[in-house]
Amino acid sequence: MSRLPRWRLAAGCLILAMLLLAAALFTPLYLRNLELQNFVAGITHDVKNQEKSDGVLRTWVLQKAEQLELPVTEDNVHILHGQEGMRIDVRYSVRVNLPLYTVDLHFYPGAGSR
């Protein structure tokens, strides 16, 4: 059995370390986004909330986003009312600075009351 050259082992370890770093930075953002998605779905599926004003609904979403430390602003929350019910869409992005690379993650949590 032949041994791997040291540079291949070092390169493999470096790639693994980079993947673990990316997972450590991205996973909490995706989990917090999922929590916001579930919160928005809960609002739209509760019949009592159909009568609430857009301002109240927007405030609830903004408060939840602030609690989750997500950069959601008032302009990012879109509330639509139609014959099929209410829909809330939230669009925001998070900048993640990695060593040697910066990425903007775009999130679009939303839900409707069908």
Domain-located, residue 101: yes
Domain-located, residue 75: yes
pLDDT band at 112 (very low <50, low <70, confident <90, very high): confident
Query: pLDDT (tens digit, 9 = 90+) per residue, 44-74?
Result: 999 899 889 999 999 999 999 999 999 999 9
Domain-located, residue 57: yes
- pLDDT at position 2 is 59
Domain-located, residue 58: yes
Q: Residue 38 above 90 pLDDT?
A: yes
Domain-located, residue 6: no
pLDDT band at 9 (very low <50, low <70, confident <90, very high): confident
Q: What is the mean pLDDT of residues 6-31?
A: 90
Domain-located, residue 9: no
* 105 phi-psi bin (left φ>0, alpha ψ -120 to 50, beta other): beta
Domain-located, residue 2: no
The structural domain count of the chain equals: 1
pLDDT greater at residue 110 or residue 56: 56
Task: Say what the pTM is.
Answer: 0.83
The boundaries of the domain holding residue 50 are 29-112
Beta-carbon contacts of 43 under 8 Å, excluding residues fewer than 6 positions away, are 49, 57, 60, 61, 88, 111
H-helix or E-strand spanning residue 95: strand 92-98
